[in-house]
Amino acid sequence: MFGPMSDQPHPGRPPVLVDAERAIRWTTDVFMTCGMDRADAEVVAVQLASDDLRGVMSHGLIRVSNYVQRLQTRAIDPRGRPEVVERHGGTAVVDGQNAMGQVVAAYAMGVCLDLAADCGSGSVAVRHSNHFGTCAHFAQMAVARDMIGMAATVSAGNIMAPWGAIEALLGNNPFGIAVPTATHPPLVLDISFSVAAGGKILLAAKRGDPLPSDWAIGPDGLPETEAARAAGNLLVRPVGDHKGYGLALMVAVMSALLPNAAFGREVRNMRTDFEQAQNVGHWFHAIDVKCFSDPKDFRERVDRAIDAMHSARRGPGVERILVPGELEAEVEERRRREGIPYPEALRSELNALGHSLAVGPLDDSG
Amino acid sequence: MFGPMSDQPHPGRPPVLVDAERAIRWTTDVFMTCGMDRADAEVVAVQLASDDLRGVMSHGLIRVSNYVQRLQTRAIDPRGRPEVVERHGGTAVVDGQNAMGQVVAAYAMGVCLDLAADCGSGSVAVRHSNHFGTCAHFAQMAVARDMIGMAATVSAGNIMAPWGAIEALLGNNPFGIAVPTATHPPLVLDISFSVAAGGKILLAAKRGDPLPSDWAIGPDGLPETEAARAAGNLLVRPVGDHKGYGLALMVAVMSALLPNAAFGREVRNMRTDFEQAQNVGHWFHAIDVKCFSDPKDFRERVDRAIDAMHSARRGPGVERILVPGELEAEVEERRRREGIPYPEALRSELNALGHSLAVGPLDDSG
């Protein structure tokens, strides 16, 4: 179902709970040691901690080490300043100037929302950016302004083959959309177009678990169920076969071909290539609800639609019917009170990183 | 793979080939007997024949009988005139006035393209419409104007349950996108968010074939592989489980909740309910490429992306790698020369219909 992907119990010592505000402060300090100014560092820290809060821990503080390495090698420019390079009507092209993806995305989505406020609909294509975290985080910026927000990006590394092929020429290219509601949490869908995330295959390989037959494709084009082999030559299977391939390709049309960002064999892997800028492309879109409907009426219609989904006759053994973003909102509410449970291995890694950068540990609990 | 779904060889007598222009003329005449004026009738006829030309025969002349029945009972208004009821910046709301869905869609997409020409991006939500054929047909209207076109609609009947449920509260809600190219045929993706179309399950039931285990869900929430049972209580399985459910729901947000069209339990089935208007909702979107990039450069980038997909290392036994819309374009080229092969059963049905409406047969070959 929808919801936290990496939020699974870990064997051994129970995870230490870290307050979200503390996680944001610590992460901001870390990125400032890499040459980022405070405001930019905080934008990144807020995305990472917010996704940990929502239980999407695959896109939270687990990313800090890789980002730090890219900043330190100047594969990412800690002082990059994204800017609008084209603007016509409700559209813009943003050049990310190789800044951190989150800094670029927050700027570009801000531009997009302003365009939508002017023209009813805003569309912003972005080049020269980097991995930005989650589509959901930026799509959600629209909701407070009575807008529907969309975000899409080319993955920062190819892990999917065109359907029928065995060569990774595409990312699983995620797409996110956030919709304002009246009393329910916002509807927030954030999915990639592979059956399973690449990270889940890597995790299964680490644990020695076999893979379900629809997660990965082997070099023979057949399902690969041995996780170690799949991890060594990552080819995730698209959802719905040719449908997921087609959707990932269309996300790339909007996010890479429209702004002229890296596509196909030009795409470099963020985890292995620290030599050059990645030229990651994004696409942001916003729709101003009030141009179509009274926003209050619309929000109530969305609430009733959610109620309808909740009320659907359930299959045997199914406790509740969820809508996109619902579980994440519940996890967030709990974690805001209780703190974020960082698994021991991640906590140790981050504490060691903090020590090496002289910003202190993420937490002091020993 | 991508491509014609219903274009399979039929046992028995070889299909009669009908010239596309003749199919359009005949279909136009048929709809004029239902009270439509010539221009509107031709808009519908062109959509139906075009999809037959492209091999998407599930959305071609096979639909004529149902449409005629809806027009004759005035469940659809043959004289309905769609109109813009809201317009702000690059956005509009169209009231379809219960006209034929194709008439509404052609009008609304025309408005959308004009908005995009003015504002760079156009967004049109539609209510009080009907089944419009295929998203691809209307999305493609954008390509000649150097635009990317998108079309989405709520299905004219519920056949999908929210993930975990066993009550059909959603359609499989198709989405289409068309992208201009330089020398390749346009990239055209048109997919619904179920693994298989409802029509394929009905066809399997007719033939007595068993279903693959991921096509349908039974009343117990488990995979239903007996086609007759699945056809009696149609619950198609979403692509990627919760992902397809989430996408179908988001298509409904744009196509039904934004314009205030029918959603959930309000949705009536076009095949069984001839009493009332359906209030089908659509969403159209267009992006004017020149606001982002020189259109020629963009078209060449799309061509290179297609070349990259074509060149991907193939899995064993795979002859070629396709991109969305490629196979349909090839089928269309052949059928424009050779004619459209209508299976005998459909041809007889249409000839009988033509006779009963005094417009003559679709073809004279006996």
Q: Quick: pLDDT tens for A20-42.
A: 999 999 999 999 999 999 999 99
For residues B167 and B269, membership in a common domain is answered with yes
- In the predicted model, is pLDDT for residue A238 greater than 50? yes
A346-357: average pLDDT = 96
Q: Does B167 touch chain A (CB under 8 A)?
A: yes
| B6 within domain boundaries | no
B145/B183 same-domain check: yes
Is residue B305 in some structural domain? yes
* pLDDT exceeds 60 at position A335: yes
pLDDT of residue B116: 98
> How confident is residue B25, by pLDDT bands cut at 50, 70 and 90?
very high
User: What is the distance in angstroms between the Cα of A3 and the nearest Cα belonging to chain B?
Assistant: 10
- The answer on pLDDT for A6 being more than 70 is no
Residue A4 with chain B: CB contacts under 8 Å: none
Last residue in a domain, options B237, B263, B297? B237
| Distances, alpha carbon A142 to alpha carbons A112, A176, B20, B179, in Å | 9, 12, 46, 26
- Span B206-233, average pLDDT: 92
Residue B366: band (very low, low, confident or very high) from pLDDT cuts 50, 70, 90: low
> Does A363 fall in a domain?
yes
pLDDT category, A2, cuts 50, 70, 90?
low
Q: Is residue B41 part of a domain?
A: yes
At B2 the pLDDT is 53
Interfacial B residues in 293-352 facing A (CB < 8 Å) = 293, 297-298, 301-302, 305, 308-309, 312-318, 320-324
CATH code assigned at B221? 3.30.60.50
Question: Do B225 and B273 sit in the same domain of this protein?
Answer: no
- What's the distance, CA A5 to chain centroid? 12
pLDDT of residue B4: 46
Are A191 and B243 within 8 A, CB to CB? yes
**B64 and B172 fall within a common domain:** no
The structural domain count of chain A equals 1
Min Cα separation B132/chain A (Å): 21
Confidence of residue A1 (pLDDT cuts 50, 70, 90): very low
CB of A93 within 8 Å of any CB in chain B?
Answer: yes
Contact B3, B328 (CB under 8 A): yes
- Shared domain for B254 and B150, answered yes or no, is yes
Q: How confident is the model at residue A160 (pLDDT cuts 50, 70, 90)?
A: very high
Amino acid type, B59: H
pLDDT, one tens digit per residue, over A204-213 is 998 899 999 9
How does strand A121-129 pair with strand A91-95? parallel
Question: B183 and B134: one domain?
Answer: yes
Residue of A nearest to B168 (CA): A312
Please state, in angstroms and rounded to a whole number, the distance separating the CA atoms of residues A208 and A68. 29
**Residue A185's pLDDT is what?**
98
Same domain, residue pair B228 and B89: no
Tell me chain B's radius of gyration from C-alpha atoms.
20
- For A345, the domain range is 14-72+338-366
Contact A292 B258 (CB under 8 A): yes
Percent pLDDT > 70 in chain B is 96
**Which of B118, B184, B189, B119 minimizes the C-alpha distance to B149?**
B189
A243-285: per-residue pLDDT in tens? Answer: 999 999 999 999 999 999 999 999 999 988 998 999 999 999 9
A254 lies in some domain: no
Of the candidates B330, B351, B357, the residue with the CA atom closest to the CA atom of residue B18? B351
Q: Span B231-252, mean pLDDT?
A: 95
Q: What's the CA gap between B328 and A216, in Å, rounded?
A: 28
Which chain A residues have a beta carbon less than 8 Å from that of B301?
257, 260, 263
Q: Find all residues with CB under 8 Å of B69, minimum gap 6, and list them.
A: B274
Let me know if residue B329 belongs to a domain.
no
> Mean pLDDT over all residues of chain A?
94
Looking at every residue in chain B, the average pLDDT score rounds to 94
Would B112 be classed as within a structural domain?
Answer: yes
* Confidence (pLDDT) at A4: 46
Give B354: exposed, middle or buried? Use CB within 10 Å, 0-12, 13-18, 19+: buried
Chain B partners of A246 at a C-beta cutoff of 8 Å? 2, 189, 191, 324
Q: Inter-chain contact B164–A189, Cβ cutoff 8 Å?
A: no
Residue B334 lies in a domain: no
Nearest by CB to residue A313, choosing from B165, B193, B318, is: B165
Instruction: Give me the CATH number covering residue B274.
Output: 3.30.1370.60
| B359/B231 same-domain check | no
pLDDT at A83 over 90: yes
User: Which residues, 6 or more positions from B27, have their beta carbon under 8 angstroms from its beta carbon?
Assistant: B41, B44, B45, B48, B49, B61, B64
Tell whether the model's pLDDT for residue A7 goes beyond 50.
no
Cite the beta strand spans of chain A per DSSP E: 16-18, 83-88, 91-95, 121-129, 147-153, 175-179, 187-191, 280-288, 340-342
The residue in chain A having the minimum alpha-carbon distance to the alpha carbon of residue B2 is A242
Whether B101 and B186 map to the same domain: the answer is yes
State whether B291 and A86 contact (CB < 8 Å).
yes
What's the average model confidence in pLDDT over B338-357?
Answer: 95
pTM beyond 0.90: yes
For residues B83-103, give the mean pLDDT. Answer: 98
Residue A322: pLDDT band (50, 70, 90) is very high
Write down the pLDDT at residue B260: 98
For residue A322, the chain B residues in CB contact (below 8 A) are: 163-164, 242
A283: contact with B, CB 8 A cutoff: no
| Residue B46: both structure tokens together | 């062109």
Q: In one letter, which amino acid is B309?
A: M
Judgement on whether residues B169 and B225 belong to the same structural domain of the protein: no
Q: What is the CATH number of the domain that holds A26?
A: 1.10.1530.10
Nearest-Cα residue of chain A relative to residue B321 = A164
Tell me the average pLDDT across B8-26: 81
pLDDT digits (tens, 9 = 90+) for B152-191: 999 989 999 999 999 999 999 999 999 999 999 999 999 9
Give ∠ CA B339-B342-B345 in degrees, rounded to 5: 160
- Contact with chain B for residue A171, Cβ under 8 A: no
Residue that has been written with the tokens 């809201």 in this structure: B86
Residue pLDDT, tens place only, B26-69: 999 999 999 999 999 999 999 999 999 999 999 999 999 999 99
Q: Phi, psi at residue B92, to the nearest 5°?
A: -150, 155
> What pLDDT is stored for residue A131 in this prediction?
97
B88 and B171 inside one domain: yes
Tokens 């009426």 belong to residue: A297
Model ipTM over 0.90: yes
Q: Are B96 and B124 within one domain? A: yes
